[in-house]
Amino acid sequence: MSDRETIMTDTKTIQQQDHAHYLHPFTDHQALGRKGARVMVRGEGIYLWDSEGNKILDGMSGLWCVAVGYGRTSISKAVYEQMETLPFYNSFFNTTNVPAVRLAARLSQLAPEGFNHVFFTGSGSEANDTNVRMVRRYWDLMGFKERHVIISRHNSYHGSTMAGASLGGMSGMHEQGGLPIPGIVHIGQPNYYDDGVGLTPDEFGLRAASWLEAKILEVGPDKVAAFIGEPVQGAGGVIIPPDSYWPEIRRICDKYGILLIADEVITGFGRLGRWFASEPYKPDLITFAKGVTSGYVPLGGVLVGSRVADVLIGQGGDFNHGFTYSGHPVACAAALENLRIIEDEGLVERVANDTGPYLKHAFGALADHALVGTAETCGFVAGLNLVKRKAENVHYQVRFDPALGVGMLCRAHMFNTGIIMRAVGDRMIIAPPLVMTHAQIDEMVALIRRALDLTLEEVR
């Protein structure tokens, strides 16, 4: 039997076991049973290999997380050494560990001014659950026990726990499990492409921000605890808000004394060309995960600004909240090494001044393709809309019948061409590793163009 045949046999066995035993997140298991899962076996730099030997350029950084690329031995070494020294100890009841303390201090240096405290979790979802409890605890301590409502946005993604999925605005998630839980309400998203007809982007940004004020007045300003949003919506389809949006949101939060939570699970650690994308509009709390360890091991948390930290610590005493893996020493050791790499290789500056602008130019050029209505980037996230008929004004472009599933078709062509791109309806998105070179960006865009050509042939 040849090597290739051995691998193929293994693939079939693994796929059968996979279907028999493994309940996957966000997966149609009937389709999985028919097609079999693609089995990923190895990663190096920006590339992945599957069990059938196909090499694939990972345009999604795993799941928006592998910022420094695959195969970084210095991270594996840091993890190994920490496991040998102290693989676990908890941070409950007056104990701590060295990597967790070092990481909290390092994150306080990297975070915007006024952020001197960190609460660690095992994931972004747990971090957003922490936010819900923390902002409610803050208002209780301030003597406003009625202020418990959190406002979020439709089509946002804040995780899969009960509170995370409730904060999120994904109708498909709310339909399952009786969500949202009480005390969480939603407003429209700043999606110029879908909702900005007849307005300039900045006019639309102000309009979308005004929905927050309208909701505050509807709920009652004395009942609203916080507003939460992703600087750029990721899972919702890389929705880049107009420049006018976030400063206006901050102004409205200030007007009513409401806390502003920036969910930077995707955008943190350089993806948008700053350590934290929300820095200019001064949030009160920042959710992080993913890029903090480049996904090598799970870790998330909340950066707590002084407005909340001073009350929680100064007046609060106990905060009855925490996870076994809060401040896990191995995860924190991985994060410290990952952050060292990001800093030493100047990845944040590169995205801001070099590779980010290069990607903007290269990816933006895809707008000339017959299938592409718009193609825009923000740092190292990008999205393009597949359209049936193009027009100069995005609001006059003709879209495909959603029932045709053109996005999923295109996604399959991407995969078969050797590039991972995600489909959100008919919007194709990427969030590539931050380590990409100019040549690799060119290679990625050429693969995308080839897959777009194949899609066009099929839908024409």
**Of 169 and 373, which CB lies nearer to ligand PLP in the complex structure?**
169
Site string (193-232) toward ligand PLP, x via CB under 6 A: -------------------------------------x--
Note whether 82 binds ligand PLP by CB under 6 A: no
Nearer to ligand PLP, 297 or 409 (CB): 297
Is 265 near ligand PLP (CB under 6 A)?
A: yes
Q: Is 125 in the site for ligand PLP (CB under 6 A)?
A: yes
237 binds ligand PLP (CB under 6 A): no
Rounded to the nearest 5°, which phi and psi values hold at 123?
-160, 170
Total number of residues that touch ligand PLP (CB under 6 A): 15
Among 108-116, 122-130, 363-371, 416-424, the segment contacting ligand PLP (CB under 6 A): 122-130
Task: Rule CB under 6 A: say whether 129 interacts with ligand PLP.
Answer: no
Nearest distance, CB of residue 256 and ligand PLP, angstroms? 24
Q: Give the nearest distance from C-beta 8 to ligand PLP in angstroms.
A: 32
> Nearest distance from residue 309's CB to ligand PLP, in Å?
21
Please tell me whether residue 448 binds ligand PLP under the rule CB under 6 A. Answer: no
Q: Is 266 in the site for ligand PLP (CB under 6 A)?
A: yes
Binding mask 159-198 for ligand PLP (x = CB under 6 A): x---------------------------------------
Instruction: Check binding of 235 to ligand PLP (CB under 6 A).
Output: yes
Min dist. Cβ of residue 2 to ligand PLP (A): 39
Nearer to ligand PLP, 45 or 124 (CB): 124
| CB 294, min distance to ligand PLP, A | 13
Instruction: Compare residues 133 and 251 and give the one whose CB is closer to ligand PLP.
Output: 133
- Residue 155 binding ligand PLP, by CB under 6 A: no
Q: Site residues (CB under 6 A) for ligand PLP? A: 123-125, 128, 157-159, 230, 234-235, 263, 265-266, 289, 300
